[in-house]
Amino acid sequence: MTLSTLQEKYSENFVPTIPRTPTNRYASIILLRETKSYAIFTTEGGEQQDVEQTPAGLKRPEPTTRLVMFKRKQVAPERRTGKALLRQYGIFPYAIQKGQVIFGEEALALKEHYEDCYLTEGLCTHCPDCLIYGYAAVEGEGARKARLMTDTCFSVRPYELIQKQVKFNVIDEAKHTSGTITAYDYTTPGVFLPAVETTVDLTMDEFTYVLGNILRTTRYGKEGTRQGFVRNHVLAIAFSDVELFANLEFTQAFYDAFMDDSEIDMVERGLSLDDFQKHANQVIETLKGNVAGRVQVVTGEDMKAILNEVRELNRDVERLAPFLKELHVHSASFIV
């Protein structure tokens, strides 16, 4: 089920099997997260969205306040998307017996089996999600370091330009009256948050699974609201033997590029996907210059081919089901 473009041109950047020791094979997904509806990026229970004051650009040290999207707000929705996909295609329940992975009713009949895997206290520790995204200490299983890394991402435009206070009313049908019950601090549609998700020592199929989760996931932000439609746009895929750059550096580099572009007005007109695509290659090349290691950036037709192959795989039930089962067999068979 391996993607042909990855297999033919970039296979040396992936491990053949899940390694027991690091080999520093990094594959980074360089993307933009774009809000397509009103969204709330706040710590659960908080009334105000998460913000931070940072230098505006790499070349412009003046401070600016930016919207913050913490790591958990990015990765947790993608993990839930992947777990739901595994459930949908019959990965759970399963059992491991004498090195063999057994699925479905046959697995349930065995004393030692895994009925499901869910965040955060019901992790099975053997499925693709657990082996890729890692887990904290689980009784009898220990802990596993994640092989996917990201960090907090930040808006390019100042927070004051992308925020809106929205009030909600309640209507009393009996009294025919209404009143304000609450007000929320929202992020407006059309806000971009540059981000990099870096995978380390993944097999080609594991990378395909991660990329599929990113393309499938559309709901981010405050979990209880069920709001926050976000579209993930992949700008590039990079293979390296080191990490590339921080999300904040990525945001600041775009800010500098936009400030130097007389055709872009971040205050009055705002930003579009075309603006980012116009400057993306140069921004990535500039940041790549500070990387002390080997870097191969994939854009253009090769990147489109990889993305199209991942989308086609996720549309094809006849291919996707065996792909996920084979992926799970390799994960569940791995013994630390």
Which residue pairs, CB below 8 angstroms and at least 24 apart, start in 316-321?
Answer: 319/1, 320/89, 321/89, 321/90
Nearest to 41 by CA among 133, 152, 157: 152
Residue 45: the pLDDT is 60
Return the exposure string of 36-64: e unless at least 16 CB atoms fall within 10 Å of the residue's CB, then b: ebbbbbbeeeeeebbbeebebbbeeeeeb
Count of domains for the chain: 1
Look at residue 126 and tell me if it is in a domain.
no
| pLDDT per residue as tens digits for the range 24-33 | 999 999 999 9
Mean pLDDT is lowest, of 36-45, 51-60, 120-129, 295-304, for 36-45
The chain-wide mean pLDDT, for the chain, equals: 92
Q: Containing domain of residue 303, as a range?
A: 4-71+148-315
Residue with tokens 């950047």: 13
At 167, the pLDDT band (50, 70, 90 cuts) reads confident
Segments in the chain forming alpha helices (H): 4-9, 71-88, 104-108, 128-133, 159-162, 204-216, 247-259, 273-288, 300-315, 317-332
DSSP-derived secondary structure letter, 85: H
Look at residue 119 and tell me if it is in a domain.
no
Look at residue 137 and tell me if it is in a domain.
no
Contact 108, 115 (CB under 8 A): yes
| pLDDT per residue as tens digits for the range 136-147 | 866 656 788 999
Look at residue 120 and tell me if it is in a domain.
no
Residue 31, CA distances (Å) to 12, 237, 286 in order: 23, 9, 16
Residue 172: the pLDDT is 58
Which residues contact residue 77 at a Cβ distance below 8 angstroms, ignoring those fewer than 6 apart?
Answer: 217, 219, 220
DSSP-derived secondary structure letter, 56: S
Both structure tokens of 266: 């971040």
Q: Is the pLDDT of residue 180 over 60?
A: no
Q: Is the model's pTM score more than 0.85?
A: yes
Look at residue 323 and tell me if it is in a domain.
no
Q: Is the pLDDT of residue 6 over 90?
A: yes
Look at residue 89 and tell me if it is in a domain.
no
**pLDDT-above-90 percentage for the chain:** 82
Look at residue 29 and tell me if it is in a domain.
yes
92, β-bridge pairs: none
Residue with tokens 């295609």: 89
